[in-house]
Chains A and B, each alone.
Chain A
Amino acid sequence: DAMVIQNPRYQVTQFGKPVTLSCSQTLNHNVMYWYQQKSSQAPKLLFHYYDKDFNNEADTPDNFQSRRPNTSFCFLDIRSPGLGDAAMYLCATSRAAGNYEQYFGPGTRLTVT
């Protein structure tokens, strides 16, 4: 089945220690998104890739970076995680046409100790 996969599902990192979350898709979608979702809140878009074009949201901290080496994979790098970065990180994909319906992965829950 075509899908969006996130690894790991749970990640624990230490304060200030860089961490990378990964996302892969078998849908062959042009657009890939990273969202941050804190408890009982709406998902907040951090950035997205339209093919190789990176689009950062204005209020995304510099601490968050992303890489998309190919169509299938996208990575979220947190350079120096703080306690406030503990959250669920959701990856999503969509086609670049029509209703831009977004397909979400199961998420990675990040804990910062």
Chain B
Amino acid sequence: GEDVEQSLFLSVREGDSSVINCTYTDSSSTYLYWYKQEPGAGLQLLTYIFSNMDMKQDQRLTVLLNKKDKHLSLRIADTQTGDSAIYFCAESNGDSSYKLIFGSGTRLLVRP
């Protein structure tokens, strides 16, 4: 079945870049998403990438997609303490685009 995997934890120093990685198994994925969840809050969509793209940049965020390896990454430039949160990777596919399959989330800790 479909599966999305992420590493559980990442710690970086304020001002450094963070790279959060995700792998997925569904080769028919249409869109891939990155969501941010702060403690006790809902999920906030950060960015998404269509499967026929290999890169998308949005201010401090850069998404890279390697479709051959089914690998997605989110790079946050100049990481700030406010970026500390859990980051979820998610995929949807053309047959059931409404349904998101989430990874287990990566907890990002930004040290001052």
Contacts and interface: CB of A to CB of B under 8 A. Distances in A.
Contacts of A92: 43
A109 B4 CA distance: 25
A104 B42 contact: yes
Contact of B45 (A31, A50, A101, A109): A101
Interface in A50-79: 50
A100 B92 contact: yes
Looking at chain B's contact residues, the main secondary structure is: strand
Interface string B88-107: 10001000011110111100
Interface string B67-107: 00000000000000000000010001000011110111100
Interface string A6-47: 100000000000000000000000010100000011110100
A72 to B, nearest CB: 18
Contacts of B40: 107, 109
Interface residues of B, number: 23
Contacts of B43: 43, 90, 92, 102, 104
B106 to A, nearest CB: 11
Contacts of B42: 4, 6, 90, 104-107
A104 B100 CA distance: 13
30 contacts: A4-B42, A6-B42, A31-B98, A40-B104, A42-B4, A42-B88, A42-B102, A42-B103, A43-B43, A43-B102, A45-B99, A48-B99, A50-B98, A90-B42, A90-B43, A94-B98, A96-B98, A99-B30, A99-B31, A99-B48, A101-B33, A101-B48, A102-B43, A102-B45, A104-B42, A104-B43, A104-B45, A105-B42, A106-B42, A109-B40
Interface of B: 4, 30-31, 33, 35, 40-45, 48, 50, 88, 92, 97-100, 102-105
Interface of A: 4, 6, 31, 33, 40-43, 45, 48, 50, 90, 92, 94, 96, 99-107, 109
